């Protein structure tokens, strides 16, 4: 019988909300709500600190001025707040998520955030401080996975692809815990995605999103026991806006810069460990 442990990280969530609240109370000259009709106003973008805000900072420092774009970057250590502040107009856009995550968020929250342009893929990986090979996982061991629906499905598929668990026939990246046919005695622990890396010591292994692995100084190419394949990966991270803002000239400028040769070279030079891979092109709505 499968043992599933749900861990609620109330303190961490509260801290993330507090962080988000403070980040959204910046002076009016750098908030989207201050100049809604001014197309020359700064474009305010919410982003995960790594790698998304890092990439945006590169664009801001090296490309934006020449393109006639004023860019402001607001980092958030949370997967929910960026869409909320994009929807209510506190920021103009966000850059942190993939399509399955966005689809779930829109459905659950009644929002209408849409993708603009794909930028990168961050392969999901299995990490551990207690074992050296994924085949070392055995009955009685614990593995944490992100608890948001889209990333949890990816995590379960990655575990299944590497023989850690068995999923029901026909189930893939949309898997839920109830789709685990045989957990082989492995205890699966659900955590907020942002907590999988900080709480790696609490489990035998963890499936960690690429951006949080980078933030925890984990190198996917050398530290991951198993790594999601990048080829034909449907989880490209994109620039997103509230529906109706796609044609804002500032958004179009940023979209073009994020798919530029300069950003491609920046990604390839900075993330040689394979943690971030360029995935340019139009994003599917």
The 10s digit of each residue's pLDDT in 149-168 is: 889 999 999 999 999 999 99
In contact, 65 and 228? CB cutoff 8 Å? no
Q: Does residue 8 form part of some domain?
A: no
Give residue 157's domain range: 124-227
The pLDDT of 248-264, averaged and rounded, is 98
Do 158 and 170 lie in one domain? The reply is yes
The pLDDT of 248-270, averaged and rounded, is 97
In 107-254, where do the E strands start and end? 113-121, 125-127, 142-146, 166-167, 180-182, 187-191, 205-208, 226-227, 237-242
- Output the pLDDT for position 32: 58
Q: Best-predicted range by mean pLDDT among 37-41, 172-176, 250-254?
A: 250-254
Q: Does residue 16 form part of some domain?
A: no
| Secondary structure class of 20 (helix, strand, coil) | helix
153 vs 9 pLDDT, higher one? 153
Q: Does residue 10 form part of some domain?
A: no
Average pLDDT score over the chain:
87
Do 85 and 205 lie in one domain? The reply is no
What CATH number is associated with residue 222? 3.40.190.10
- Residue length of the chain: 285
- Output the pLDDT for position 35: 53
- For the CA atoms of 42, 50, 93, 261, the dihedral, rounded to the nearest 10 degrees, stands at 80
Cα separation of 29 and 149, whole Å? 36
- In this prediction, what percent of the chain has a pLDDT beyond 90? 73
Burial class (CB in 10 A: 0-12, 13-18, 19+), 21: exposed
The 10s digit of each residue's pLDDT in 85-138 is: 999 999 999 999 999 999 999 999 999 999 999 999 988 999 999 999 999 999
């Amino acid at each position: 019988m499968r043992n599933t442990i749900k861990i609620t990280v109330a303190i961490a969530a509260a801290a993330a909300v507090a962080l988000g609240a403070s980040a959204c109370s910046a002076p009016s000259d750098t908030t989207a709500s201050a100049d809604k009709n001014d197309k020359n106003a700064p474009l305010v973008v919410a982003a995960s600190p790594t790698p998304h805000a890092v990439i945006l900072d590169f664009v801001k420092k090296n490309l934006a001025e020449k393109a006639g774009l004023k860019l402001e970057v607001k980092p958030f250590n949370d997967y929910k707040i960026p869409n909320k502040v994009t929807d209510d107009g506190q920021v103009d856009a966000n850059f942190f998520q993939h399509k399955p995550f966005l689809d779930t968020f829109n459905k659950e929250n009644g929002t209408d955030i849409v993708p603009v342009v794909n930028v990168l893929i961050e392969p999901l990986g299995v990490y551990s401080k207690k074992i050296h090979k994924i085949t070392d996982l055995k009955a009685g061991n614990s593995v944490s996975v992100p608890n948001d629906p889209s990333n949890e499905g990816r995590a379960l598929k990655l575990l299944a692809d590497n023989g850690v668990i068995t999923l029901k026939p026909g189930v893939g990246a949309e898997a839920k815990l109830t789709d685990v046919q045989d957990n082989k005695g492995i205890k699966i622990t659900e955590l907020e995605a942002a907590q999988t890396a900080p709480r790696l010591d609490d489990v035998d292994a963890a499936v960690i999103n690429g951006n949080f692995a980078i933030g925890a100084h984990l190198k996917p190419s050398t530290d991951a026991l198993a790594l999601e394949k990048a080829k034909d990966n449907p989880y490209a991270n994109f620039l997103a806006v509230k529906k109706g803002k796609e044609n804002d000239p500032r958004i179009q400028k940023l979209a073009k810069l994020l798919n530029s040769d300069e950003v491609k070279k920046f990604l390839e030079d900075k993330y040689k460990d394979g943690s971030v891979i360029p995935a340019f092109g139009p994003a599917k709505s």
